[in-house]
Structures are given as C-alpha cells and as structure tokens.
Copies of this chain bind each other. A is one copy, B any other.
Amino acid sequence: MRYTFLGPSGTFTETALLAVPGADQAQREPAPSVPAALKLVRSGQADAAMVPIENSVEGGVTATLDAIAQTPQGQAPLRIIREVLVPISFVLVAKPGTRLQDIQTISTHTHAWAQVRQWAAATLPTVNYLPGSSTAGAALGLLQENPGYQAAICSPALAQNHPELEVLAQNIGDKKQAVTRFILVTRDLPTPAPTGQDKTTLVLPLPQDRPGALLEILQQFATRGINLSRIESRPTGAALGSYFFSIDIDGHLQDARVQDALRGLHRVSPGLLYLGSYPRLTGGQTQLDPIHQDPAFQAADFWVQGLLG
C-alpha cells in the first residue's frame, strides 16, 4: 500500500495514518494540501489518503468536505473506508533559550490558533498571530533563518521528534477534550463488509427549486428509522443560498433500510453522492425498531412481488 496524507510529517494527520494497521511499515508520502492528497489517489499515484474531516472545536474541515464532494469529469469517485479519531493537544515550541516574554509573534495553522486563542489571550495578551500553512510547517520554520516569528504551536509528537525545539508550554488547548476525526480515502473499491456498527457518508445537494427539500431529505431518513450522526452544510459555490449537505448516517450500504433511503433520496436530490460505508468508532450498536430491520424490508418486498404476480 502507498499512502499519502495531509503533510508535512509530524502533523496530527500523520498520527492518524499511523493508527492504521500496517501503515507504519508502508510507504507514506505527505501531500501539501487535502485536494493534492485526494488527487494522488484519483490519479493512482497513491492507494489511499488520510485527511481530516471534522474537528470537535473548529467543525468540518471545509477543504476536505469540498474536495471529496466533487468528482472531476471522467475520474472514479472516491470512497471512505475507515475513520480514525485523534485526541488533539497542543504545545508551544521555540528555539532553545527563548523566554515567554521574548515572544512577539506566534505562527501555526489557523485551525490550531482557533483552539488556543483563550490560552494565548490570557498568557500572552499582546502577541501577534502569523498564519502558517500547517502546525508542523510553522514549528519547523523556526529552525530556518529569520522566520518572522519567535514561537509556534504544534503537536506534542512533532516536538518529541525534534529535540532542537524547546517546549515552553504544553496542553494549551482551550478545550481539553478536543478530538479530530480523520478519514482514509481510496478509489472506488468494494465496500467493506458490515460489522453491525457502521456509518455511511453521503453528499446531498439541496435542490434549489424545492423549498422544504431539507425537510423532505430528513423525512426520507426518519421513515426508515435512520439516525444522522453528522450533518454539515456547505455552499456549492454557484450562488448564495446554494448548498450541499455532508451527512453521516448510522448503517451500511448492505442494510436494506440504507438502500431504501438512498433510493428515496435519489428522487429528491438526484445528484447525491455515496462516499462509502465503513466501521464507526462511536455510538455503539445501532438500536433498531423491527420495522426498520432487514427482515421487515424483505417481507414487504416479497408481499409486493406476490401482488404483482
């Protein structure tokens, strides 16, 4: 297997990738952006990409949500085959000998900055912020000449691998329970078999000419007893008020209720995308009313087939 991931090395995304069995022995190529990582998969230069999709503090990772929602003309759609949860904590690093009072400017990725803002306001009230392209990039930039900032915020893993950086403060995230969810994305492959605790990810454009379409969409799930574990809106880019929804539901493509809901959704929103069914790490066993279980769907189908003769 050849893996790619949102780089550089030392980001939380690499931590997520290393949690995949066998990935530590496999080829792992960092990509400069989420679209770039997915492009490597689409073109066949990588077999799978690990990218962040949702942060408990900052929300959906819009670059991922948008890049995965669009299949360029003539290319195979992508499939999610696994999710990984990584607890997020941050450290403040600087070149050895730097004191807190020496810091005028801090650099890090904007998502990371958003998660330490309260700590920064309390600890270094007058500090300036310089956006960085990644947490690792900002930290390693300190080792270059004239970086334009005196400290960076990055993952504890990166600091550990780089003893040439000194940790000035640790566990500085404003929310101590912060978690980021990552997904492993491949080209179109057979969907992993159901485990009984699965989720399915969908992209649902909201038809512009149907007021109430979102209600119709939710009713398609409700009439099949399907629970939504995530719903996020994103603009399609076509116009203000033109959205698609990125949705995770409990259940697997092999479940009759999921297939039935997909059929109903396709009528309401024919441009929907199926992005994969895969084991979910949270939420426990799905509790289902018997009327939403496979035997009820099979009995119903058998009955209607009998009527049709």
Contacts and interface: CB of A to CB of B under 8 A. Distances in A.
A216 B211 contact: no
Contacts of A63: 114
A240 B181 CA distance: 8
Interface residues of A, number: 75
A231 B233 contact: yes
Interface string A236-264: 01111111000000000100000110111
Interface in A245-298: 253, 259-260, 262-264, 266-268, 270, 274, 282, 291-292, 296-297
Interface in A21-36: none
A300 B57 CA distance: 29
A120 interface: no
B234 A300 contact: no
Contacts of A228: 214
A180 to B, nearest CB: 9
Contact of A304 (B214, B262, B309): B262
B223 A216 contact: yes
Given A58-B62, A215-B219, A241 B235 contact: no
